[in-house]
C-alpha cells in the first residue's frame, strides 16, 4: 500500500497560475517513485541477501530503513515545504531521492545500502507533501484541482500494483541493483517537468526541531530494538539499550508536543475519538499489508524455491483489484457513510489472513496467490473511507496536520510489522511457524480495530473521496 492521506497547507489567494500539465506530471511521477520504492524491494530481498551475504535482520533494515525515515520525518515535512516553497522542497527531495537511489544501486555492502535507504526515506518524506502542494498551486480552480488530485493518486495506485512485479522482472533479468537504478530516468523526467513550474510562494512555518529529533530516536530505537532483539535475543545489551532510548525519546516527544509553542503533533487531535480510532486502524491496515508482502515474498522464494520473477507474478492477483476496490469504497461511503466500507474492508482482510493459516510447505503457489487477494482487497476498500472519515471530522485548518498524522501512523505500522514479523521468523522453530504467528497477529489486530470502528458514531453520507 502506498502512502496516502497527506495534505498540504492551504495556499493564499494569490496562488500561482499556469504550468498545470507540468505540475501534475512532476507531482505524479514523484508520488509514483515514493510508493514504488516501498514495495519494489520486497521481491528482491533474497537476492540481496545472497549477493551481500546478509541474514534476516539485514534484510529487515533494507525495508525498514526507508519506511522509518519516511514515517519519522513526515510530520515536519509539510512545514518545511511551506517554509521554503513547494517547488524548492520537491526539487531538493527529488534530487536527493535520485542520488540515494544511485547509491543503493552501487552499494558494496549492507551498511552503504541501508544508509542510502535512510536517505531515500528522508527524501520521500519531503517530496510527499510538496507534491500535493504543487498540485494545489497549479490548479487554483476547485473542480480542476479535484480532478488533478484524482489523477495524482493514480501514481501511487499504479506503483502498488506493479511494484512487486517490476521488482521481480528486474531482479530476475538484470539484477537486484536495477530496482534502484530504474528511479533515475523517472527522476530526471520529473525534474525536467518541474523546471517548467512557476516558483512557489513561501509561507510562515515553524519547525519543531526538538520534537523531530525525539521522533527519529523513538522510531529508530524501537525498530532497532525489535530487529536486533529478534535476531540476537531481547536480553542482549544492544537491544535493551535501544528500547530504553525509544521509551525515553517517546516521553520527551510527548512532553515537547504538550508544552511546546509550535508542536509538530497537536495532541488535542487525539481527544477526538474518530481521529484516535482512525489512526489505529490506519496503523493496523499497513501493518497487515506490508508485513504480509514481506513474509510471503520470503516464503515464495526461500521456502518454495520460486524465482524473483515468479514471486513477483504471485502478487498480481492481490494488487490487481486495488483500483477497483478504491472506487467501490468511495461509492459505498457516499451511499452508506464511511464506517461501512471501513469495517467491511478490515473484516475481509482479517478473513484473508486467517485463510492463509492453511498454507503449508506443499500448498500450490497459485492457491497461495489467490488467498492473498482478500488482504489487498480489504485494505484498498478500507483506506479511502478511513481517510474521508478523518478529514470530515477535523476542522478545515487542521486537515493538513490530520492527514500527515494518519500517513505517519500508517508508515509506522508498516515499519514495525516488518520488524516484528521478521523477528518472529528468525526466532521460530520453522519458517512456517513464524509466518503463521505473524498472520495470526495481523488478523487479530484487524478484528480488534474493526470492533473499534463499530464503536464510532454512524457517519452521514460523504461526498469526499480518497484512495489508498
SS3 461: coil
pLDDT at 395: 67
Cβ contacts of 406 within 8 Å, gap of 6 or more: 5, 6, 278, 279, 282, 386, 387, 390
Cβ contacts of 286 within 8 Å, gap of 6 or more: 1, 379, 410, 411, 413, 414, 417
pLDDT, one tens digit per residue, over 334-354 is 788 888 888 999 999 999 999
**CA–CA separation, 39 vs 409, rounded Å?**
18
Read off the C-alpha cell for 56.
Answer: 534476516
Ordered by start, the domain boundaries in the chain are: 18-199, 208-263, 269-468
**CA–CA separation, 438 vs 357, rounded Å?**
10
Question: Are the C-beta atoms of 390 and 275 separated by less than 8 Å?
Answer: yes
Q: DSSP readout, 271-315?
A: GSHHHHHHHHHHHHHHHHHHHHHHHHHHIIIIIT---HHHHHHHT
What helix, strand, coil percent values describe the chain, rounded to 5? Answer: 80, 0, 20
What's the distance, CA 364 to chain centroid?
A: 30
pLDDT at 466: 40
pLDDT, one tens digit per residue, over 36-46 is 888 788 888 88
Are the folds of 18-199 and 269-468 the same?
yes
CATH homologous superfamily of domain 18-199? MFS general substrate transporter like domains (1.20.1250.20)
pLDDT at 123: 93
| pTM score over 0.85 | no
**Residues of the chain scoring pLDDT < 50:** 1-19, 460-468
pLDDT at 347: 94
**CA–CA separation, 323 vs 315, rounded Å?**
15
- Alpha-carbon dihedral sign for residues 441, 446, 447, 451: positive
CATH topology for the 269-468 domain: Growth Hormone; Chain: A; (1.20.1250)
Give alpha helix (H) positions in 53-141.
56-84, 86-106, 110-138
Amino acid at each position: 500500500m502506498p502512502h496516502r492521506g497527506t495534505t498540504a497547507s492551504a495556499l493564499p489567494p494569490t496562488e500561482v497560475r499556469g504550468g498545470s500539465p507540468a505540475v501534475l506530471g512532476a507531482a505524479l511521477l514523484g508520488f509514483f517513485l515514493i510508493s514504488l520504492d516501498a514495495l519494489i524491494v520486497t521481491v528482491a530481498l533474497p537476492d540481496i541477501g545472497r549477493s551481500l551475504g546478509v541474514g534476516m535482520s539485514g534484510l529487515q533494515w533494507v525495508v525498514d530503513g526507508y519506511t522509518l525515515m519516511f514515517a519519522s520525518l513526515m510530520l515536519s515535512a509539510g512545514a518545511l515545504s511551506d517554509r521554503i516553497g513547494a517547488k524548492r522542497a520537491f526539487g531538493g527531495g527529488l534530487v536527493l531521492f535520485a542520488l540515494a537511489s544511485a547509491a543503493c544501486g552501487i552499494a558494496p555492502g549492507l551498511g552503504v545500502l541501508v544508509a542510502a535507504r535512510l536517505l531515500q526515506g528522508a527524501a520521500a518524506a519531503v517530496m510527499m507533501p510538496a507534491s500535493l502542494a504543487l498540485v494545489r498551486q497549479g490548479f487554483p480552480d476547485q473542480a480542476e484541482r479535484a480532478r488533478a488530485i484524482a489523477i495524482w493518486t493514480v501514481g501511487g495506485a499504479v506503483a502498488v500494483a506493479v511494484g512487486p512485479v517490476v521488482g521481480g522482472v528486474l531482479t530476475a533479468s538484470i539484477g537486484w541493483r536495477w530496482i534502484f537504478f530504474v528511479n533515475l530516468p523517472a527522476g530526471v523526467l520529473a525534474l525536467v517537468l518541474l523546471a517548467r513550474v512557476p516558483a512557489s510562494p513561501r509561507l510562515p512555518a515553524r519547525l519543531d526541531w526538538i520534537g523531530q529529533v525525539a521522533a527519529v530516536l523513538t522510531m529508530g530505537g524501537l525498530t532497532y530494538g525489535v530487529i536486533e532483539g529478534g535476531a540476537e535475543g531481547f536480553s542482549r545489551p544492544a537491544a535493551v539499550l535501544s528500547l530504553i532510548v525509544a521509551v525515553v525519546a517517546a516521553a520527551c516527544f510527548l512532553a515537547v508536543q504538550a508544552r511546546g509553542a509550535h508542536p509538530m503533533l497537536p495532541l488535542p487531535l487525539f481527544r477526538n475519538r474518530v481521529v484516535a480510532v482512525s489512526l489505529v486502524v490506519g496503523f493496523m491496515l499497513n501493518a497487515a499489508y506490508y508485513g504480509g508482502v514481506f513474509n510471503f515474498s520470503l516464503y515464495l522464494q526461500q521456502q518454495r524455491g520460486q524465482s524473483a520473477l515468479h514471486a513477483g507474478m504471485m502478487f498480481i492477483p492481490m494488487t490487481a483489484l486495488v483500483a477497483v476496490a478504491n472506487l467501490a469504497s468511495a461509492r459505498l461511503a457516499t451511499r452508506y457513510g464511511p464506517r461501512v466500507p471501513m469495517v467491511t474492508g478490515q473484516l475481509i482482510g482479517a478473513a484473508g489472513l486467517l485463510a492463509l493459516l492453511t498454507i503449508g510447505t506443499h500448498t500450490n503457489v497459485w492457491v497461495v496467490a489467490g488467498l492473498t487477494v482478500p488482504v489487498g482487497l480489504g485494505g484498498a476498500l478500507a483506506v479511502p473511507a478511513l481517510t474521508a472519515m478523518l478529514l470530515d471530522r477535523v476542522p478545515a485548518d487542521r486537515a493538513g496536520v490530520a492527514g500527515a498524522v494518519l500517513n505517519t501512523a500508517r508508515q509506522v505500522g508498516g515499519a514495525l510489522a516488518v520488524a516484528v514479523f521478521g523477528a518472529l521468523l528468525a526466532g521460530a522453530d520453522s519458517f512456517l511457524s513464524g509466518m503463521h504467528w505473524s498472520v495470526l497477529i495481523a488478523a487479530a489486530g484487524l478484528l480488534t480495530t474493526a470492533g473499534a470502528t463499530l464503536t464510532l458514531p454512524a457517519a452521514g453520507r460523504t461526498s469526499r473521496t480518497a484512495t489508498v
